[in-house]
Structure 1
Amino acid sequence: MAVSKDDQLKDLLSSDRFSVAAYLNLALNDEDDQQQRMAELALQLQMQTQSCHEEIGKIGAELQAILPRCSADIGRVGVGLEGLRIDAASLLENTAIDTSEGVSSSLETLGILHALEANLQRSKEILTAAATWDTTLSSIAPLLAQQNISEAVNALAQLENGERALRGMPNPEEREEAIAKVRQQVSTMLQPQLKHALANMNTRLAPLQQCVTLYSKLNKMDALKDEYIKNRPSGLHKSWFDFKMVYDEQDTDKAASEFMAWLPAWYENVLSLMSEERRQSTTIFGTAMVPGILVKVLWECFRPLLSSFQSRLENIYSSDPARPNKGSFDSICTLYESTLQFLSLVYESVANCWIDITESGTVPEDDGLKLYRDLSHIFIQVLAPFSAYQKNLPNLEAHYMAGHTEPVAKQIQQAVMTVSSSDFESLQHATYNLQNMAHFIFPLAEGSLGRFELLNAGYGPTKALSTIDHVLGNHADELSMAVKSLSAAMAAGEKQLVSSFDDSHVLCTLGVLKVAGTFRRNVKVLEKKTFDRLRLLRERIETHGSRERGIEDTAGSSSSKKAFTLPDSLSLVEIDSIVTKAVCGENEGLTTAATALQRLIDAEDNAGRLFVEAEEATQRLMKSCQLFIHDVCSSIPRQYIAEMSSMSSWREGSESATDTSYGILPQPYINHIGEHLLTLVQALEPFTSDREALSLANDAMLDVRDIALEPWREFVLGTGYSVESSTSFWSPGSNVIREIMEGTCFTGLTLGGAPIDDDADAGTDEQTSDEAAKTAFCDSWLDVVGLSVTGRLLDRIVHIPSLSSKGCDHLSADLNYLVNVFSALGIAGHPHPLLGHISVVAAMDATELSEQIQARDRSDAVGGFLYVLEMHVAKLRGIL
């Protein structure tokens, strides 16, 4: 018996094998008009749905009636007699089974009907979409022709809903192609409207809001936001490119100063735009999108300008050290710092916006972690034009400081070129200029440290400090060479200097000590400041590293949005740390940078130096200044001593005309020497009246006695004593020449004369600290000059060709006079024991001297030297 199609459709609806495709294929497989058939099916499905609803309602009513009665029966049985408990339980079990079977059957029927309803609803959607597809599609073209974009968008949305309903149906490509075509047409029609709305959004927001609604329906909000963001800072872009930098090779600072004055005003305009954007974005896009929009607008403000920004910086001061630069590197640093300040204000504006939104209960589209990372990335990009300066900083610093130091080096050389020993004013002018130029380098060095802190923030400290160290050392060497030139000028005209010598020469030459003292003191101050800066930079790097690790841990957490707290502000230092880590830390991690800084900091605790080259050059400068003063102060004794070994008086016979009834008198040369030493005290004292000058000079008095070593070395060699072969006899590590010069080793071993007076300063206990400092300074120079004169005199004595008996008397008288002079001066360590010893040895008769030499204990180093000295004097006398 044939089954009708309606029965087949009913059977399929209640079948487990039901599918929408099978149902439609069965319903439409005849040759009737499909549109008519579709309408009939829709009507039948509607009727069937109504029937299902009625059946479901009926079953539900029955269930509501059955379940309460069952519950009541169970309750009555449960409160029966205890004696009938087993029977009641059995009855309850039977009743429950019967009830369960009834309920189960009803629920199964309800489930089938619910599935049927869902299938019918789905079928209705599909049939409705299929029935209206062509009508909706054909209605869009007239709407677009009429510029009715709003209705066209609604129709497109209806088409897209239909396409989703018909997925799985035949010919999906045709539907997708049709929707894509319509979408393209609508988007094309929307573009002019959007551009018009964007162009006039400063006066009217309604058209733009309408575009937002339409683009939202089209799921094209990203495209609209991109167009909006590109258009937003157009005025700022125009302002940037309208500003023209005028470059003048003769006045390179003009362009820099104009740009430095203009840029902060442009940054103010950006901040104003960001403030306005917060209000406008809230109106257009809604509160949740505002922080993300602000970040994108900020980036769009700079994106097209970065290459122009870098070009302007390069025209102010090139980042290539090989290129000649006439501009100011400080201008670049000023612009960098100005940009950091601007970015700090921008961050605060965006962060406060995000915090205000979250506190109001709204959930922003971008979470705090994403916002922080996006802003950090933008900061790095905005400051990218400065990256070449940051990477090349040591070389740029060397080039920049060389441009400042080379002209000064020429000035230093010119300051001493015209000095003459006969022209006291030229000497005075030269020393004054050197004092002024000694300060010059330190502000430049501090500026270099500041640029290192700003641009590199502690990365690569060794190279940066090495550059500064080298420049300091070069400047000290320039000063040292200038002082040596002064010494050479004085030596070239020593005869004129001796003839015109007075106290003013001493006072003037002592002024160069202030050059060395100033330089040495400033190096120490600079080192102290540098150590402090290095500690701050290490703390900055460690703090930034801790923050970065916290962010990484938060990003790896499953609850990162809740765990991360967006900072409400970032300081210039914090933003600089972000940027310098990205630029300078790519080859040097945070740990490596902190370790390098700590290694330099540890040098202070270990009495190390940061500026080793500068320290060595400072020592050379001090030594040059000390030698210059020594050469001037000892010029008169040096001239008289120079020719004394060839004087004829050493070979005089016993009937010499120089004999007097008073005995042998000191010769003129030794009188001049003694008088000079005695008057030198008065020449030194005026300088000590200036406390500041004295303080600076004392800073340059380190190891001042060493400048007297050279004549003593010549004296020891002149005696025939071999220092190299006798070193093993002296104390390990001792300097033989120094020990002989200091004279303390001869205590109790020499003849004649008082021992070295180590208590010469005993009377200074009653002096004030200022008076003691003045006395100590004068005594130091009297000591040095005295040692030098003594050593040079002894050297000339051992070079006398021969000594007659009368010559020995002259020598003894001369030395005794000098011993008396030193005793009168009252300087610790003077007179030297060898002066009295040689005086006695020269006066001894031949037999006594021979016995003295034979009795000399040569088992120790000092005795061995005295033996050689006594043998040498004996040979001069012709005794051996």
Structure 2
Amino acid sequence: MADILNEAFGEDNFDPIAWINNACNHNKPADEPLEKYLAELEMRLQLNAEDIEATLSDNSSQAMRRIPFAIQEIYRLQGDIQGMQDQVQVLAGSVQRDATDARVSVEHIAQLHLVKANMESACNSLKEATELSGLFVKVEEVFAAGDLPKVAEILASMRRSLSLVGDVPEFRAGRQKLRALEDRLQTQVEGSLGEALARGADDEAMRKLCGLLLAVDRYGTIESLYVSTKLAKVHALWEEVAAAGAAAPDGAASWLATFMSRLLALLEAEACWAAAVLPGQAAALLGALCLAVFTKISKAARDRLAPVRHIGPLAGFAREVGGFGRALNELLRDVDAGRRREIIALVYAPLEDKVAAYGELEAAQLAADLRAALPPVTAAAAAAAAGGEEAEGAVSRLAASIRPAFAALHAAVERCNALTGGSEVRALLKAVDGELSGYLGALQSAVSGLGAKHKARAAAGAAGGASAAEDGEDIANVLQLIKVGRELSAAVGRLEAALRTAVGAAVSRLQALVSGAAPAAAAAAAAAASGTPFASSSAPAGGAAGLSGAAEADPVALRLVAGKGERLTKLVKLGASLSDPRFMVLPSSVGSLDGFSATVQSTVFDVLLARVASLLAPLPGLPEWRKGAEGSAHPAAPLPSFNTYPLPYVTAIGDHLMAMPQQLEVLMGDNGDDASAAAAPGGAEAGGAAEWEELAAEWLDKAVSGAAGMYADAIFKIGELGQQGGCQLATDVEYFVNVMGALHVAPPPSLLTVQLLAGAAPEEFAELGRGALAEGAADGPALRALAGMRRIALEPAAGAAAPPAQA
């Protein structure tokens, strides 16, 4: 009980009900009555509250007694603070006076120091002037003696002296004289240095000649001579490799890769030479040489690559130039970063034109590959005109074109990675979508041509009494199109899944490639003022800002961070879109596939029922329907139904439909590979066989139902129907309904209505119709149409007679 009185009643979330329940559940002894426990708890709480109230009262009284003493203490502290402030003000005034006195003293000392410095400078100037006068005389003697190293030493000393006494009136013309002497020395050394560079003199001689020019501050001459001499070697190498590779099967892409390999060896040798001869200027010399070399060959390489339109050779060149660029970047590690990026951009410039045109190149490649698969397909319609055997071959060739076509489409992913490193996957999707859509359109045209030929043959066969075998051949051929459609749909699905996987992998890989630069892509691109570093032969300084390590010389990484990182941003958006189920990788192709599927469905349906349509065409005008009609010239007595036989048109239709299940077996048979696969251990294809059986059953139901609809439409086009004609029609319909039952297809209500009421006596028609409607055994529109054909007025309860309606 004592523990629960220590609860924190003052907390904001204190709940008295929960507290009481908790006390009763956990603190009440098991054998103590609840009322007693609560009464004791209440008493303890009340006593505790009284103790708290008494404690608060005592504390309050003590606090009130201490307030006057606290006020007196505050007044005392305020007085002390005021006194301290007065003392600080006095000290501050004293410090200010001392600082003013000190400033005056320092100014005097500074003036004395300046006078001393001026006197020392004047002394040095007089000394240098004395020496300089002697040097101007001495240098001519040394020139005459031919001691060029001594001349260089004297000229260097004269330059230092002129920097001190150049403002002395007697030496104002000294700088011009010194420049003339330096030019004179340069002229004598330049020829020797040029010859030494050309013939490859020993390092010590080269070092001495370069030292002479450096002594007179003529590094530019060394760089100019060095670059011009080595450019001649590079040009000779270019001509040699170009001549040897003129007949290369891959053209310029092949020999350019060879040239870069040999050029890298040449530059490595030059780097070693510069480090040995001029270690202090080695990086600058190598940078100047590389910049001159790639500025000169970049445009030439781009012109040589311009005619290359095949991605294969370009992909190989991209691999080679990427390796060359990384090796060169490592070779130039001591060169100024801005110049190094400029050189690397020039290296990649020839390839970037092809990368930018990748979409067009890929579309052209795919168009050529798909055309190689399409010619037999586009000729299918012409082949079908020659006969069933040729038509069967046309459909087979149609199916055979799918595998090579989609193999080419899948290969586009590897070509994109090889040439662009995956940075152009957006262009890849566009090219694949466009060319696949065109391929599907060509297939759709071929199917339309096949369907038209088959339909015309079926119609002609119905009119001329073609054999059932010929009809079966036509239907078997056209039913193969269903398998083609299914295979094509599956191929498109696999291609779309492969593209989704490839795009997702490419986006992840590219983001990881520039992971260090991606967060600062905008800053990196802002430094690249000229946009993409490959767009011109002059690369912007800082074009690869934000990249480090191997990515600094990676063409794909450079491409991603160029142009304010727009390409990377678009790729990231594309990668994010993949998770959206509404996003379509191949939107145009999906639409074309739907059109192809619809064409196949329509073609198969039309060919399956072409004979039915031909047989039903004369039905509305048959004279049998007017027998027994009022006003007929030869009214006939009603015949018993068992003496009425179905007319030939409906028996022919029944034979056609009864033969259809065997014809539909083409959907699940005639494929030895499937059968053997289904029999394999594990039954991997068992599900596929069941799927084909289900598809055949679906098409049988669709075809028989379609024939029933066509039959009903033809019946309700009959202008006048007599009683005996109605009996004949009922017999025909009954035969047709029996055929549907044998095929396990439910007949439509319109045909059941005709079967039930077409032959009914006039006096019984209305009553039978009302009863059938009440029981749900008759179709209202069909009943009204039938009443109009029989010229029987229905009672208002059943509705007035209406013109023939479509079933």
TM-score normalised by the chain length of structure 1: 0.65
Distance 1:639 1:554 in 2: 74
1:750-770 CA-to-partner distances (Å, cap 9, x unmatched) read xxxxxxxxxxxxxxxxx9634
What letter matches 2:748 in structure 1? H
1:522-566 CA-to-partner distances (Å, cap 9, x unmatched) read 332332233334334544665537516559989999xxx9xx998
With over 3 angstroms needed to count, the CA separation of the structure-2 counterparts of 1:486 and 1:770, relative to structure 1, is: closer
* Alpha carbons 2:728, 2:759 under 8 Å: kept: no
Match of 1:834 in 2: 750
Identity over aligned pairs, percent: 18
TM-superposed CA distance for 1:233, in Å, is 5.1
Match of 2:606 in 1: 631
1:102-501 equivalence runs, <5 A:
125-201=124-200, 204-232=202-230, 234-244=232-242, 257-286=250-279, 290-291=282-283, 293-317=285-309, 328=310, 330-350=312-332, 354=333, 366=335, 370-371=336-337, 373-394=338-359, 412-420=377-385, 423-439=387-403, 441-443=405-407, 445-446=409-410, 465-494=429-458, 495-496=460-461, 498-499=466-467, 500-501=469-470
1:448-486 CA-to-partner distances (Å, cap 9, x unmatched) read 666666667777876764454333222211111111111
With over 3 angstroms needed to count, the CA separation of the structure-2 counterparts of 1:485 and 1:403, relative to structure 1, is: same
* Alpha carbons 1:299, 1:378 under 8 Å: kept: yes
Match of 2:720 in 1: 802
| Aligned: 1:642 with 2:617 | yes
Q: 2:517 aligns with which of 547, 564, 570?
A: 547
What letter matches 1:639 in structure 2? S
Match of 2:577 in 1: 602
Q: 1:673 aligns with which of 649, 653, 661?
A: 653
| Aligned: 1:783 with 2:776 | no
What letter matches 1:532 in structure 2? T
What letter matches 1:835 in structure 2? L
Distance 1:775 1:509 in 2: 17
* Equivalent position SS for 1:418: helix
* Equivalent position SS for 1:473: helix
1:573-612 equivalence runs, <5 A:
574-579=554-559, 581-582=561-562, 585=563, 589-590=564-565, 594-595=569-570, 598=573, 601-602=576-577, 605-612=580-587
Which of 140-149 and 838-847 deviates more?
Answer: 140-149
* Equivalent position SS for 1:315: coil
* Alpha carbons 2:245, 2:255 under 8 Å: kept: no
TM-superposed CA distance for 1:501, in Å, is 2.3
Distance 1:515 1:173 in 2: 97
Match of 2:35 in 1: none
TM-superposed CA distance for 1:210, in Å, is 1.4
1:777-813 CA-to-partner distances (Å, cap 9, x unmatched) read 2101101211211111111111122222222222222
* Alpha carbons 2:740, 2:747 under 8 Å: kept: yes
What letter matches 2:169 in structure 1? P
1:383-404 CA-to-partner distances (Å, cap 9, x unmatched) read 3234444445555655665566
* Alpha carbons 2:479, 2:666 under 8 Å: kept: no
* Alpha carbons 1:458, 1:593 under 8 Å: kept: no
TM-superposed CA distance for 1:425, in Å, is 1.6
With over 3 angstroms needed to count, the CA separation of the structure-2 counterparts of 1:416 and 1:389, relative to structure 1, is: same
Match of 2:732 in 1: 814
| Aligned: 1:535 with 2:499 | no
TM-superposed CA distance for 1:340, in Å, is 2.2
Unaligned runs of 5+ in 2: 1-108, 528-541, 629-633, 676-684, 794-807
Q: 2:486 aligns with which of 492, 497, 517?
A: 517
Distance 1:389 1:261 in 2: 15
* Equivalent position SS for 2:719: coil
Distance 2:777 2:643 in 1: 34
Distance 1:346 1:459 in 2: 23
* Alpha carbons 1:674, 1:818 under 8 Å: kept: yes
Q: 1:851 aligns with which of 767, 770, 776?
A: 767
TM-superposed CA distance for 1:506, in Å, is 3.5
* Alpha carbons 2:139, 2:154 under 8 Å: kept: yes
With over 3 angstroms needed to count, the CA separation of the structure-2 counterparts of 1:375 and 1:452, relative to structure 1, is: farther
* Alpha carbons 1:143, 1:152 under 8 Å: kept: yes
Distance 1:515 1:192 in 2: 80
With over 3 angstroms needed to count, the CA separation of the structure-2 counterparts of 1:517 and 1:342, relative to structure 1, is: farther
Unaligned runs of 5+ in 1: 1-109, 249-253, 318-327, 355-363, 696-766
What letter matches 2:256 in structure 1? L
* Alpha carbons 1:383, 1:579 under 8 Å: kept: no
* Alpha carbons 1:442, 1:522 under 8 Å: kept: yes
With over 3 angstroms needed to count, the CA separation of the structure-2 counterparts of 1:222 and 1:531, relative to structure 1, is: farther
1:346-375 CA-to-partner distances (Å, cap 9, x unmatched) read 33454xxx4xxxxxxxxx6x5xxx53x443
* Alpha carbons 1:856, 1:867 under 8 Å: kept: no
TM-superposed CA distance for 1:130, in Å, is 2.3
TM-superposed CA distance for 1:163, in Å, is 1.2
Distance 2:454 2:526 in 1: 76
Match of 1:16 in 2: none
Match of 2:692 in 1: 774
Distance 2:114 2:732 in 1: 137
1:215-245 CA-to-partner distances (Å, cap 9, x unmatched) read 3322333542343244335433212134457
Distance 2:787 2:725 in 1: 13
With over 3 angstroms needed to count, the CA separation of the structure-2 counterparts of 1:786 and 1:567, relative to structure 1, is: same
* Alpha carbons 1:376, 1:578 under 8 Å: kept: no
Distance 1:341 1:594 in 2: 26
Match of 2:63 in 1: none
* Alpha carbons 1:649, 1:810 under 8 Å: kept: yes
What letter matches 2:300 in structure 1? S
With over 3 angstroms needed to count, the CA separation of the structure-2 counterparts of 1:408 and 1:285, relative to structure 1, is: same
TM-superposed CA distance for 1:875, in Å, is 1.4
TM-superposed CA distance for 1:854, in Å, is 5.3
TM-superposed CA distance for 1:613, in Å, is 1.8
* Alpha carbons 2:348, 2:555 under 8 Å: kept: no
* Equivalent position SS for 1:339: helix
TM-superposed CA distance for 1:593, in Å, is 5.2
Match of 1:569 in 2: 550
TM-score normalised by the chain length of structure 2: 0.70
* Alpha carbons 2:507, 2:571 under 8 Å: kept: no
1:650-678 CA-to-partner distances (Å, cap 9, x unmatched) read 23459979979943233322222222222
What letter matches 2:599 in structure 1? S
Which of 787-796 and 261-270 deviates more?
Answer: 261-270
